[in-house]
Structures are given as structure tokens and as C-alpha cells.
Amino acid sequence: MRRRFFAYPYILWMLALILLPMAVIIFYAFTTGEAGGNRFTLSYIIKIFDMLNIRILLRSVWLSLLATAVCLVVAYPVAYILSRIPSRKTPFLYVLFVVPMWMNFLLRTYAWMILLDMNGLVNRFLVMLGFGRVQLMYNMSAVVFGMIYNFLPFMILPIYTMLLKIPAELVEAAQDLGADDGRVFWRVVFPLSLPGVVSGVTMVFIPGITTFAISRLLGGSQFMLFGDLIENQFILLQDWHFGSALSLMMMVLVFVCMAVSSGFDKETKGGALI
């Protein structure tokens, strides 16, 4: 009874801030919102599959996949190096990756606007070197760069955590059996770190596909992502019903990613991929 008592605040928190908002979104997604009263309809769900909306979704998925791939390529070597350096130096280097996460998300993005602007520090440096100014903002490359910068720590930390959990005895046993460093990595280290990779990919891909602040600030609203589309329905057009339908589709996508990640973790538990 005492344990249940302490669980009640968390249950109320989940009901108020998770389940209730989800119920409201589902209600609006399947009702009309006409003056005659709310009636059940699938029109907003069907409207999602308009070619324009599908094109925006595919663009968001592509940019998020690209940012996730770059984050993985950068994060894995960094996490591997962090896991192999002496433990007395690890906290300092670990803090270097965590400290940017303490700063407000928008402030970090605004900082890159100052750096990448036509009159920003990067272009001034290029002019000093004798090169011309380069348009670094208001394009897809700037949006992908913003995603990479903001979400890279979310890729590094789970991979680093999994690498730390790998018993040193397994590596030593593989070396004693004649495996060189390359085979030890691909047959022992990498398979055991895959749960961290999957967690990192999920933690980068899902925020990337739902972002709207990065595309607005660094992309200059030159093109729309799925997060921008949802925000416009709620804020600009005041169409809560279609906005809720789009949000529902995004929630389904998030749940699918989480289910895949959870299933993969179960398959790889205990080093089953070795």
C-alpha cells in the first residue's frame, strides 16, 4: 500500500500531461468541428494522404535520416574513444558533450544563425582568407546541420553507455583466441553495442522528423517539414482537427520506432548477435 501511495503522483502526472492530451488529439482527429456539433468523420485522416502532405512527410523523413546517419558516423568513434580513455579523464570529456544540452534549444539554434549568416563570423573568416561570401543558411543543408548539432549528444551518450557495459573479459577472451583488433571490434564490441546504437538512432530520428524550430530559423521557412505543417494547422490556420490528425499520424510513427527499438533490444539482450 505504501508503494502504491507513492505511485499515485506519477499516475496523476501521466493522466494529466500524457494520456489526457492524447485523448484530446484523438477526439479532434476523428470529429468534424462543424457548428452543428462534433460528429465522427474520417475526412481529416484521409486528407493526410494528400500528395502535398506525403511529400512534406517524405522530405522530413529524408532529412531526419540524413542527420541520423551523420550523427551515427560521428558519434560512434567519439563514444568508442571516450570508453577507452583512462577513467580519470572521462568526466571532463563527458561534460563537454553534456554542457550544450543544458542550454536552451532555441538559444543554441540562434547562435548558429549568428555564425552562418551572410555577415556572420564564418563568412567574415572566408572573406579574410580571400574567398567570397557563401550562402550557408536558408537551405536544407543548414537544417540538417542544425539537427546534427542539436541531436548529436543524444547519439553519443547511449552508445557510450553500452560500450562501458561490455565486459573487458570478452575482449580479452577474443584476443586470446587469436582475433585481431578488427575482428574483435566487429564480432564482439559492435554487436554488443547495437542496443545503444538503436537507442541513439531513435533519439535522433524522432526529434529530427518532428522538429519545426530548426527548419524555421536555419531554413528560413523556404521549405516545410512535417513539424512545420502541424504547427501551421494549430497556430496559423486554427484547424485543430486536421492538426490533430497530423499529430496522430506522427504519434503512430513514434510508437512504431519505439516498438522497433524495444524489440531490437530484446533480441540483442545478452549478446545474441555475436
Q: What is the pLDDT of residues 17-38, one digit of tens each?
A: 888 989 999 999 998 866 656 7
Residue 273, pLDDT score: 43
Residue 266, pLDDT score: 63
Is the distance from CB of 113 to CB of 190 less than 8 angstroms? no
pLDDT for residue 11 is more than 90: no
Q: How many CA atoms lie within 13 A of 155 on its CB side?
A: 24
Q: What is the pTM of this model?
A: 0.85
> Domains of the chain, with CATH numbers?
1-41 (no CATH), 48-268 (1.10.3720.10)
Burial 3-26 (b: 16+ CB within 10 A, else e): eeeeeeeeeeeeeeeeeeeeeebe
- Torsion of the alpha carbons at 12, 15, 18 and 23, rounded to the nearest 10: -170
Residue 112, pLDDT score: 86
Q: Which residues contact 201 (CB under 8 A, 6 or more apart)?
A: 68, 72, 155, 261
Cα dist from 52 to 59, 175, 240, whole Å: 11, 55, 19
Q: What is the pLDDT of residues 66-116, one digit of tens each?
A: 999 999 999 999 999 888 887 776 777 777 777 777 788 888 888 888 888
